[in-house]
């Protein structure tokens, strides 16, 4: 199985202050962080899929399997089972948002084949936790839920698919063993063998200019766009619940306290544009439904002025709002012309003030040195 990593989407590439380890926590056997960015072996086991579903910004993907495509093909198909024995490499490739969206968009209950996993393993527990969270969030505004106990389902509609898949696997294994060994085939197999020998080698990623240029583009992950679309079609509840912040892993609401210095960092580096400002940098705006809870803004805020709101209001799912978390007096710097946060009396911005101080210091030193020589 091949993992694909887009460094420009990883929040660790956006700031050295990021402490994100969601991919490592989900697939500790496969992913590691030695320097700034995640690293992984060239060939990974199926448990590495868990990092795909865990990454808030979709920096990880599996080659040959798109979760977005899966969402649409699954809904078009008659099968209502998600199983590594039928249609996914591993259920863990799907995030909580995908699971909520699939349950919401499907007319029939969606079943997840947890029986395909060994109970007590990290992978089993991780998938179980995601299903539990998806069902918890769904229960706050819908009567839809994901099912996991296949024994409860009378007529399992997937048995035919599983049988066909098994037959296909056996046939492809047989085909591999009986394949004619032409020179071309031998070379191909040698290449595959060499790749397998190097499979343990770690892939290392560097932050180059191309990545820096890509980071500047704010990007909302596809899974959030899918969630938006399914929520738009869902029935709006009569009352809106408030969910405990710690029970929702993929979205958050925030507030900013008065330690904020309007350093501009959080809204400049937020990968999705959930945090933003106006043209004069005089406000901090926040759109909860654009937030993927990557925590980058918290990690990068030096005075620790940005905080998670204790509860997440389900109303945001149905009536997304932009809130102003802070506003500041700003004025143009007499020196450089840029806007700066004005606390009263200053004519120039802090950066120009520092430069001016340095210039005065150098000038004074030069004068002393000249004076001493004369
Ligand atoms: S943003 Fe994604 S890839 Fe980067 S550290 Fe976090 S989980 Fe891993
Ligand atoms: S909340 Fe923190 S990071 Fe954002 S502008 Fe204020 S001080 Fe800077
Ligand atoms: S606002 Fe949300 S998406 Fe933006 S940096 Fe903060 S946690 Fe990440």
Whichever domain contains 264, its CATH number is: 3.30.70.20
Give domain status of residue 183, yes or no: no
Same domain (yes/no): 324, 337: no
Same domain (yes/no): 342, 283: no
272-316 pLDDT per residue, tens: 999 999 989 999 999 999 999 999 999 999 999 999 999 999 999
How close is the Cα of 257 to the center of ligand 2, in Å? 9
Residue pair 245/309 in contact (Cβ under 8 Å)? The answer is yes
Is 325 touching ligand 3 by the criterion CB < 6 Å? no
Same domain (yes/no): 25, 103: yes
Residue pair 54/207 in contact (Cβ under 8 Å)? The answer is no
Task: Please state whether 109 falls in left (phi above 0), alpha (psi between -120 and 50) or beta.
Answer: beta
Give the chain's mean pLDDT: 87
Is 12 touching ligand 1 by the criterion CB < 6 Å? yes
Is 270 touching ligand 3 by the criterion CB < 6 Å? yes
The structure tokens listed for 366 are 């030069």
Same domain (yes/no): 89, 208: yes
pLDDT at 99: 98
Residue pair 256/264 in contact (Cβ under 8 Å)? The answer is no
| DSSP symbols for 327-349 | E--EEE-TTT--EEE--SS--S-
Q: Which of 330, 369, 335 is nearest to 355 (CA)?
A: 335
Question: Looking at ligand 3, which residue's alpha carbon is closest to its atom 2?
Answer: 291
How close is the Cα of 96 to the center of ligand 3, in Å? 17
Same domain (yes/no): 323, 344: no
Give domain status of residue 288, yes or no: yes
Residue pair 56/250 in contact (Cβ under 8 Å)? The answer is yes
CA triple 363-365-370, angle to 5 deg: 95
Give the count of domains, the chain. Answer: 3
Is 275 touching ligand 2 by the criterion CB < 6 Å? no
Task: Tell me how far apart the alpha carbons of residues 198 and 121 are, in angstroms, rounded to a whole number.
Answer: 27
Which residues of the chain fall below pLDDT 70?
A: 1, 151-200, 372-374
pLDDT at 83: 94
Same domain (yes/no): 243, 119: no
pLDDT at 203: 79
The structure tokens listed for 283 are 């406000």
Give domain status of residue 228, yes or no: no
In this structure, the dihedral spanned by the alpha carbons of residues 93, 20, 308 and 129, taken in order and rounded to 10 degrees, is: 30
Task: Tell me how far apart the alpha carbons of residues 58 and 272 are, in angstroms, rounded to a whole number.
Answer: 11
Please give the DSSP secondary-structure letter assigned to residue 254: E
Same domain (yes/no): 65, 199: yes
Is 256 touching ligand 3 by the criterion CB < 6 Å? no
Please give the DSSP secondary-structure letter assigned to residue 93: G
Would you say the C-alpha torsion 244, 250, 253, 257 has a positive or negative sign? positive
Task: Tell me how far apart the alpha carbons of residues 359 and 343 are, in angstroms, rounded to a whole number.
Answer: 24
Question: Looking at ligand 3, which residue's alpha carbon is closest to its atom 6?
Answer: 297
How close is the Cα of 200 to the center of ligand 2, in Å? 41
With H, G, I as helix, E, B as strand and everything else as coil, classify residue 183: helix
The ligand 1 atom nearest the CA atom of 22? 7
Residue pair 86/165 in contact (Cβ under 8 Å)? The answer is yes
Give domain status of residue 175, yes or no: no
Question: Looking at ligand 1, which residue's alpha carbon is closest to its atom 8?
Answer: 23
Mutate to test the pocket of ligand 2, among 15, 254, 260, 328 (most ligand atoms within 8 A of CB): 260
Q: Which ligand is nearest to the CA of 252?
A: 3
Same domain (yes/no): 307, 337: no
CA-to-CA dists, residue 189 to 37, 184, 192, angstroms: 32, 9, 5
Is 305 touching ligand 2 by the criterion CB < 6 Å? yes
What phi and psi, each to the nearest 5 degrees, are found at residue 373? Answer: -65, -40
How close is the Cα of 24 to the center of ligand 1, in Å? 8
3-state helix, strand, coil in the chain (%, to 5): 45, 15, 40
Question: Looking at ligand 2, which residue's alpha carbon is closest to its atom 6?
Answer: 260
Would you say the C-alpha torsion 296, 301, 302, 305 has a positive or negative sign? negative
Helices marked H in 4-82 — which ranges? 11-14, 22-26, 49-54, 67-76
The ligand 3 atom nearest the CA atom of 275? 1
Same domain (yes/no): 246, 301: yes
pLDDT at 370: 77
Give domain status of residue 79, yes or no: yes
Maximum pairwise Cα distance, the chain:
102
Same domain (yes/no): 126, 47: yes
Give domain status of residue 182, yes or no: no
Mutate to test the pocket of ligand 2, among 306, 307, 327 (most ligand atoms within 8 A of CB): 306
Is 112 touching ligand 2 by the criterion CB < 6 Å? no
Give domain status of residue 143, yes or no: yes
Same domain (yes/no): 351, 285: no
pLDDT at 253: 98
Q: Residue 131 burial (CB < 10 Å; 0-12/13-18/19+)? A: buried
**Residue 362 lies in domain:** 332-373
Q: Which of 90, 98, 100, 102 is nearest to 135 (CA)?
A: 100
Same domain (yes/no): 149, 16: yes
Give domain status of residue 231, yes or no: no
Is 256 touching ligand 2 by the criterion CB < 6 Å? yes
Is 296 touching ligand 3 by the criterion CB < 6 Å? yes
Residue pair 88/123 in contact (Cβ under 8 Å)? The answer is no
């Amino acid at each position: 199985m091949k993992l694909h990593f887009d460094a420009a989407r990883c929040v660790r590439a956006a700031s050295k202050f990021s402490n994100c380890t969601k991919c490592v926590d989900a697939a500790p056997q496969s992913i590691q962080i030695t320097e700034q960015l995640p690293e992984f072996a060239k060939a990974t086991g199926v448990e590495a899929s868990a990092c795909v579903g865990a990454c808030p910004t979709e920096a990880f993907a599996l080659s040959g399997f798109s979760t977005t495509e899966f969402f649409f093909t699954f809904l078009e198909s008659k099968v209502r089972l998600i199983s590594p024995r039928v249609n996914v490499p591993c259920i863990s490739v799907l995030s909580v948002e995908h699971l909520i969206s699939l349950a919401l968009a499907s007319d029939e209950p969606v079943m997840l084949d947890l029986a395909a996993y060994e109970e007590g393993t990290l992978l089993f527990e991780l998938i179980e936790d995601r299903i539990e969270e998806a069902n918890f969030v769904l229960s706050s505004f819908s009567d839809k839920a994901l099912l996991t106990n296949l024994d409860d389902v009378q007529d399992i509609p997937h048995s035919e698919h599983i049988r066909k898949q098994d037959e296909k696997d056996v046939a492809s294994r047989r085909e591999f063993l009986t394949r004619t060994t032409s020179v071309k085939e031998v070379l191909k197999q040698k290449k595959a063998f060499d790749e397998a020998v190097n499979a343990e080698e770690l892939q290392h990623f560097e932050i180059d200019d191309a990545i820096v240029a890509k980071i500047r583009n704010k990007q909302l992950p596809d899974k959030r766009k899918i969630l938006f679309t399914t929520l738009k079609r869902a029935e709006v509840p009569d009352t809106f619940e408030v969910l405990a912040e710690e029970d929702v892993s993929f979205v958050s609401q925030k507030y900013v306290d008065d330690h904020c210095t309007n350093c501009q960092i959080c809204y400049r580096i937020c990968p999705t544009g959930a945090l933003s400002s106006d043209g004069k940098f005089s406000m901090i705006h926040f759109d909860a439904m654009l937030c993927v809870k990557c925590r980058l803004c918290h990690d990068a805020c030096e005075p620790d002025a940005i905080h998670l709101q204790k509860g997440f209001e389900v109303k945001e799912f149905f009536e997304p709002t932009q809130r102003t978390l802070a506003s500041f007096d700003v004025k143009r710097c007499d020196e450089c012309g840029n806007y700066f946060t004005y606390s009263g009396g200053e004519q120039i911005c802090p950066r120009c003030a520092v430069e001016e101080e340095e210039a005065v210091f150098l000038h004074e030193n030069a004068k002393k040195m000249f004076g001493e020589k004369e």
